[in-house]
Amino acid sequence: MVSFLPDSDVLAEDDDRLHLSIVCRNSDANNRENGILLQGKQFELSCFDLQYDLETTKSRVQQSPTLVSFLQNSKEKVNTIVITVSTERLFKAMGIVLQFLHLKSLTTPSLCVSQMRHLLHPESGLDVELCLASHFLGLSEIQRRVEKSVLSGITLSTYIQTCKYAAQYNMASILRGCTTWLKREGVVVCRKKKEMQEVKDAIIFNPRSQKLIYGDESISLQLLLPYLKEDLAFRARFCSPGYLSSGGKPCLVDEMNAQELQQIGFSKKVGFSGTVRCAIDRVRDEGDRGVGVFHFYREDLDAYIMSAVPLPNSSNIAFFDSRSIASSNASDANDAIYGEHYIGVLKGNEMGTEFIVFDNGVNPGLLPDEAFEDVHRREVCRITYKSNISGKRPNMMRVRVPATRTAEKESFTSPQTLVTRKPEWSDNLGGWTLKFRGRARKSSKRNFQLVLREDEDEKDAQVMVCFGKMSSRRYSCDYASPLSSLQAFSIALTCFMKKQFAS
């Protein structure tokens, strides 16, 4: 589709001079637009050819790894490069990108897609081709920004065509974005042609042909299935019991010897047996009265795992992995929902007494069962607080953990119910006390431990979740199997949510 050729017939008067020529072969003359395309620098070679020439210098194209590599690998000095493309639209886009590379330094902080698009010719609808041209020239920064423009500009009328272009040229990041768009917008299932004709303003899914349809355009669902399956694997990283987000089996501190513990700064006397030691940092701007942004860490690995970000104009909290820009910027959270770094969401009722955590699956109402059942959202856990208006006793919660498939074994865990471990009243201290074994350094009404409901009266019951305040912004959050990291994190976050009937 795109090829680079040297032209050794042109004698070099200046070693730095470079002549770039873009040629479009086999264009359809009947469909060619008349008039000047690129400020008069395009002319016809024959009935089926277009050519665009640009005089520049080698130093000006150093930002393009493709051109630099081509020049360096040539056996003789090259001052002319012929770039052959297969379509007129790509011909236009390649000319725009090269002219932009020639006239404007890529290090300019004001670089934007609109500048490049309108620098030479106010040509609309070429974003995908601009992305392709940037990709072939190795201009990753331009490609990234144009891809963002492509994805933000997807509409019902452009969705199918964008998917086709992305599939044709193997543009994985755009196909991933198209998958995210579909998960947000949903589809309408139609089996008969008459049903399809009645649907307006929606993508249609035909279960028989396994195609997505809009108007006269259609694509196979197979194009998006790899990305839907990626989401399933991503779900397991945070939602399956015993799964370590960085891969491999859980590293439980009680299984380490004294030397291994000393290397990571722990002692056998600290914490509870069988728990994975984690920490939560709460970050709030000065004067911010909201719950803030939370970051979750594995202490035994010294690894940042994920973040929880309040959604704007909502009481919900979304979870993202550590690679997401939304992990540090709440304003980007809504746009990142269903994206490749999205883990799940915590939703609470108006009273603040019940919370439900869902994984990164899709609302079943948007993508019906016919083809998308596996990617439907699943309940991760449900947290219920007992009414405690007076606040004279610590808050009590009940956590329902559904049966889930384990990460290491092809089996399902049984549903579990966890309850708050009852603290003891101390007359000497004048308050409620609970032993945290060094995992809580400051007293706080938010400090809690969870045990299995059937073990709540046993003094030596296995602690399933231990949450304790360590400093003004850091909390410990240890959990034991069969809980997952997302379950432990979300349970802890409910302590910070507003509650009308629980203090």
Asked whether the beta carbons of 269 and 475 are under 8 A apart, the reply is no
Q: What are the distances in angstroms from CA 332 to CA 101, 327, 337, 370, 377?
A: 30, 9, 9, 32, 22
Superfamily name and number for 233-496 = Tubby Protein; Chain A (3.20.90.10)
Mean pLDDT, residues 120-129: 59
Q: What is the pLDDT of residues 12-25, one digit of tens each?
A: 455 778 888 888 87
Q: What is the pLDDT of residues 463-491, one digit of tens each?
A: 899 999 999 999 999 998 888 899 999 99
Structure tokens at 471: 């400093």
Instruction: Identify the CATH class of 2-153.
Output: alpha beta
* Residue 94, burial from CB neighbour count under 10 angstroms (0-12, 13-18, 19+): buried
Confidence of residue 114 (pLDDT cuts 50, 70, 90): low
Write out the DSSP string of 312-349.
TTSS-EEEEETT-GGGT-GGGHHHHTTSTTEEEEEEE-
Asked whether the beta carbons of 227 and 176 are under 8 A apart, the reply is yes
Terminal-residue alpha carbon distance, the chain: 65
Q: What is the pLDDT of residues 263-319, one digit of tens each?
A: 555 444 455 666 888 999 999 876 666 788 999 999 878 889 999 999 888 889 999
Q: What is the pLDDT of residues 370-411, one digit of tens each?
A: 667 778 888 999 999 987 655 555 578 999 988 765 444 444
Q: Which of 82-91, 115-124, 483-492 has the weakest average pLDDT?
A: 115-124
* Residue 368, burial from CB neighbour count under 10 angstroms (0-12, 13-18, 19+): middle
- Is 2-153's fold the same as 233-496's? no
Task: Give the residue among 460, 389, 448 at the shortest CA–CA distance from 419.
Answer: 448
Q: Where are the domains of the chain?
A: 2-153, 233-496
- What's this model's pTM, rounded to 2 decimal places? 0.74
DSSP-assigned beta bridge partners for residue 23: 51, 84
Amino acid at site 224: L
- Phi, psi dihedral angles at 375 (to 5 degrees): -100, 10
Structure tokens at 421: 């471990």
